[in-house]
Every structure is written in structure tokens, then in C-alpha cells.
Chain A
Amino acid sequence: MPKVTVDMTLCEYHGQCVFVAPKEFWFDDDDELRHSQEVPEDARARVEKAAKACPQLAIKVE
């Protein structure tokens, strides 16, 4: 299963990942970014798009 990591020292809460892949990335009640650590194979394309959309290039998908 693809692993998703976000470098929180780079994240600036732009929310582009939340827009592109709302099932895998979301803001919690404190406006902190949360994300799935592992996603099913059929979500790979979506999280890779989220990584591409990130203006900070903070998201890695392995």
C-alpha cells in the first residue's frame, strides 16, 4: 500500500491536498492538517495528484 508522508516543517496549510484528495487529507477541528498514513492502491493516483498540487512540495508518496 502506498505510504503518505507530509513534511510538517514545510506545510503552510495551503489546503490544496484537501481540495484534491479530501478522503486522504483533511483539516481537524483545530485546523491542523491530518492525513492517511497508508492509502489503498486505488487511491494512489489521487494522493500523487495531491503531492503534485502542493505548493510547498511537502507531500511524499512511496
Chain B
Amino acid sequence: MTDTKSNATCPLTGASNVADISLLSAENRACPYGAYAQIRAEDPVHFLPDQNLWVISRYDDVEFVLTNPDKFTSKEALSSGNAYRACPEALEILSRSKAVPRQRTLILADPPIQAFHRKVVQRALAPAKTLRAFGPTIEERVNGFIDRFIDKGQFECVSQFSIPLPMALVSVIFKVDEEQVYRMKGWSDNFFAALTGHVPDKTVIDAALDTLVFEDFVLERMEKARTEGSDCFIGKLLDQPEDETPLTNAEVINMCSQVLVGGNESTINFISNLVHIIATTEGLENRLRENPDLIPNLLEESLRHETPLQSMYRITLEPMQIGGVDLPAGAKLMLNFGSANRDETHYDHAENFDLDRDNRETLHMAFGRGIHACAGQTIARREGMIALKVLLRRLRNLRLADDATTQLAPLFGVRGFQTLNIAFDMNAD
């Protein structure tokens, strides 16, 4: 049997003092795992004074925070700092928002309202039902993407494969056509970039402008759903039992924005990471083709090893100790899933990709844990599963193209690709 373990260890930082490590440096953004390992070993609850942020690096500590939502607020769960607040021009644009008073929902909300949001979104999204209804045609769509490049011997994975698949799901969820779904993708890109922070003001301003356009898009569809009825996600959100508190416009807008961004960004990187590991790991492709039952293992190990969304954030509601370190109330925590998922106290040879690893033993945290665990994780897994099944059936000898201009995803805290050129042979079978 060919050895399908790949040892993709990042170099250690060489910093003699953990305080000298910057997660924002170009090297550490290209490959953060060496820095993570050093911080995890030397200072697992690590304060970054310039960002006023505590980095939580160990699996057990991250899990503790995720499963104690009464001790931590999620109101800034998605960003290390508020990019809009630091950009007066964007704030001016957002002052024209119709989603007032602004309402945090779901991932940005805390119990008890969070449980209500979760319930109505789950009911409207109905992932299992959505997949049952749409499942068979996902495969058809994937075949369609491949048809467009099958005779070229090469494809750019991100734009021709990873993006179209989740966007097809988004178009089904919101019941929009292809043209509209790519407009939505543009909005989503700007929203997400502004959330991750560390981007130029121009991006934040674009995100603010798109926020207003997006609000109108949602409000218009709400109006239509209320007068004519609609079976799109927005219509389903509004279809509430009489004894339930009606959702406000601001709540619906915020939920739609989260489902839009959550429904594509991470899945795109997930799919690219899967294709990349197959294209770069000796023997992996053949093992998967010989035994497709290994694909679920691959999905979980990829999610652990290259976690698409590397971190989320919490704020302490009371003074407390984490990992023996005293934290004040109001401390902002970066939950480093990327580090927790490589914690050597839970995973043997944690830095290695290992198809044979039993990820049932220690559940990775790529989708979070507890009350905020990703609501779309089953959809994401199914997309990954079908993408690989069809890809392996039709293409052979996947490899980085000779003229590979592989570019990593540029945003902070994201593991994936911006460009990933893959060469292949056609499968003669």
C-alpha cells in the first residue's frame, strides 16, 4: 500500500521569544502552523498587546470556551476588530442602513435569543430536507462544471470547481438565478473580507455599500414573500407559527447575510483544500479511487488538518482563569481552531495529514462545537463528498499544473486558495 501520509509541517518561527511572533507576518500567514505550535507549547493563552487579543491555542481550552456560552459573549464572534468602526466613510454609508435597530442574530447572538434564531433558521434551512430534495441534482451540476474543462487537461480549481458548487446550493436556497447568485457572491466576498479585517479601507467601504444593496434585496423579497408567498429561504423564515415572536426586518437581513456568507466562503476553501491534498499527496488518489468509502475519512482529516476558517472570537463576561491564566471580564479571545485541531495532546503526529487517522476519536473543531456549531455542516460535507466522487470518477492523475501559479487565500484566518491550477488525465474507464 502506498503511504498516504503527508508531512506538511510549517517551519518553526525561529523566534526565541513567543512575544516576537506575529500571526500577521507574511510568513505566518502563508503557513501559520509553526507559529501555532510554538505559541501552543510556550504560552497557550497568549496575549497580543497590539490587537488586545488573547489567543487560545489548546484543544481543551477552546472546547471549554465553546461549550460554556453563559461565560462568554459571541457578539463579536466573527472578527478580531470592527473594521467598519475604524473607517469613518464606511460608517457614514452604514448610517443609511434600513436594518435598524441593528440586530445581532445566530452566530453573533447569545442565549436565550440565540436559541430562537437557531430554531427559525434551522426550520427554514432544513439542511437534511434541502439535501434530499436537491441531492441528486448536485451530482449533475458537478458533472456540468467538469464538462466545461474536461477536454482541456487542466482547470483552475477555485473559479471552475470550488466556487460554482456552493453557489449552486446558495441559488437553490434563495431561489435566485445564476446571474443574481454571482452578484450575491460579490457581496459575500466583501462582507467576509471586512469581517476578517486587516484589509484596505476600500474593501470596507465596498462592503458597507453592498450592505445597503443587500438590505434592499432582502427587504424586497420579504415584501414579495408577505404578499405573494414564497418558498425561498426568506419566505420560509417568515412562515412562522402564530404563537412565535415575529422576526424583525433587521433580524431577517442579518440571518440572510450569515447564511449567504456561511454557505459559500468556507465550503469553497474546503473543496479547494481537498483537491489540493489529492493533487499533492503520493498515492492518495489511487487509494480513494480503489476504496471510495475512505472519502468521509478524507473530509474529516482535511477539515482537521487545513481548517478553512481558522478562528472565531469570544469575549469573557466575567473574570476567570483559562489554562491557568487570569483573564479580566471583557477580554477578547481568539479561539484558534487551526491550532486546537493540531494539538499534539489529542492527535498523534498532529502536523501530518493522515488518511487513516480516526477522527471519531477526537472530534475536530472545524465546525465549532456546542450551541453555535455550524448549521450547514451537513451540507458542506455532502458537497465535499459529491465533488470528490465525481472528480475521481472522471479525472485521473490530478496534479499541480506545470505552470502552477498556486496562490493561497489572502485573508487573515482563512486556509484555502485564491488560485489553484490543476492538471489531469481523462479517466478512460
Which B338-396 residues have C-beta < 8 A from chain A?
360, 363, 367, 369-371, 373-375, 377-378
Report the separation of the CA atoms of residues A15 and B127 in the bound assembly, to the nearest whole angstrom: 11
Report the separation of the CA atoms of residues A50 and B13 in the bound assembly, to the nearest whole angstrom: 37
Which residues in A have their C-beta under 8 angstroms from that of B363? 20, 49, 52-53
> Would you give 11 A-B contacts (Cβ < 8 Å), ordered by A?
A12-B122, A12-B126, A12-B127, A12-B128, A14-B128, A16-B378, A19-B360, A20-B360, A20-B363, A46-B360, A49-B363
Contacts A12-B126, A12-B127; A55 near B360 (Cβ below 8 A)? no
Residue among B128, B369, B370, B371 with max Cβ neighbours from chain A (10 Å): B128
Which residues in B have their C-beta under 8 angstroms from that of A46? 360
Report the separation of the CA atoms of residues A49 and B364 in the bound assembly, to the nearest whole angstrom: 11
Chain B interfacial residues counted at CB < 8 A: 17
New contact pairs (13) apart from A14-B378, A46-B360, A52-B363, CB-CB < 8 Å: A12-B122, A14-B127, A15-B378, A16-B378, A20-B360, A21-B360, A31-B132, A49-B360, A49-B363, A55-B373, A55-B377, A55-B378, A57-B373
Which residues in A have their C-beta under 8 angstroms from that of B378? 12-16, 55
Complex interface bits, B112-156 against A, C-beta within 8 A gives 1, otherwise 0: 000000000010001110001000000000000000000000000
Report the separation of the CA atoms of residues A21 and B373 in the bound assembly, to the nearest whole angstrom: 19
Report yes or no: A55 in contact with B375, Cβ–Cβ below 8 A. yes
Asked whether any CB of chain B lies closer than 8 Å to the CB of A56, the reply is yes
List the interface of chain B (C-beta within 8 A of A): 122, 126-128, 132, 296, 360, 363, 367, 369-371, 373-375, 377-378
Chain A interfacial residues counted at CB < 8 A: 16
Q: B189 → chain A, closest Cβ, in Å?
A: 26
Report yes or no: A19 in contact with B377, Cβ–Cβ below 8 A. no
Report the separation of the CA atoms of residues A36 and B236 in the bound assembly, to the nearest whole angstrom: 34
Which A12-62 residues have C-beta < 8 A from chain B?
12-16, 19-21, 31, 46, 49, 52-53, 55-57
Q: B67 → chain A, closest Cβ, in Å?
A: 8
List the interface of chain A (C-beta within 8 A of B): 12-16, 19-21, 31, 46, 49, 52-53, 55-57
Report the separation of the CA atoms of residues A31 and B133 in the bound assembly, to the nearest whole angstrom: 14
Q: A20 → chain B, closest Cβ, in Å?
A: 5
Which residues in A have their C-beta under 8 angstroms from that of B371? 57
- How would you classify the secondary structure of chain A's contact residues: helix, strand, loop or mixed? loop
Which residues in B have their C-beta under 8 angstroms from that of A16? 377-378
Report the separation of the CA atoms of residues A20 and B358 in the bound assembly, to the nearest whole angstrom: 10
Report the separation of the CA atoms of residues A56 and B371 in the bound assembly, to the nearest whole angstrom: 8
Residue among B132, B363, B367 with max Cβ neighbours from chain A (10 Å): B363
Report the separation of the CA atoms of residues A30 and B375 in the bound assembly, to the nearest whole angstrom: 24
Report the separation of the CA atoms of residues A11 and B312 in the bound assembly, to the nearest whole angstrom: 26
Of the candidates B296, B360, B369, B377, which one forms a contact with A14 in the assembled complex, judged by CB atoms under 8 Å apart?
B377
Report yes or no: A55 in contact with B128, Cβ–Cβ below 8 A. no
Report the separation of the CA atoms of residues A56 and B376 in the bound assembly, to the nearest whole angstrom: 11
Report the separation of the CA atoms of residues A16 and B374 in the bound assembly, to the nearest whole angstrom: 12
Q: B378 → chain A, closest Cβ, in Å?
A: 4
Contacts A13-B128, A14-B127; A55 near B367 (Cβ below 8 A)? yes
Residue among A14, A31, A53, A56 with max Cβ neighbours from chain B (10 Å): A14
Report the separation of the CA atoms of residues A13 and B126 in the bound assembly, to the nearest whole angstrom: 9
Report the separation of the CA atoms of residues A13 and B131 in the bound assembly, to the nearest whole angstrom: 10
Report the separation of the CA atoms of residues A38 and B375 in the bound assembly, to the nearest whole angstrom: 28
Which residues in A have their C-beta under 8 angstroms from that of B367? 55
Which residues in A have their C-beta under 8 angstroms from that of B126? 12
The 10 closest A-B pairs by CB, nearest first: A13-B128, A14-B378, A55-B373, A12-B128, A20-B360, A53-B363, A55-B377, A12-B127, A12-B122, A52-B363
Which residues in B have their C-beta under 8 angstroms from that of A52? 363, 369
Report the separation of the CA atoms of residues A1 and B187 in the bound assembly, to the nearest whole angstrom: 52
Report the separation of the CA atoms of residues A11 and B128 in the bound assembly, to the nearest whole angstrom: 10
Of chain B, the residue at the smallest CB distance from A11 is B128
Report the separation of the CA atoms of residues A16 and B128 in the bound assembly, to the nearest whole angstrom: 12
Of chain A, the residue at the smallest CB distance from B296 is A19
Which residues in A have their C-beta under 8 angstroms from that of B373? 55, 57
Contacts A12-B122, A12-B126, A52-B363; A57 near B296 (Cβ below 8 A)? no
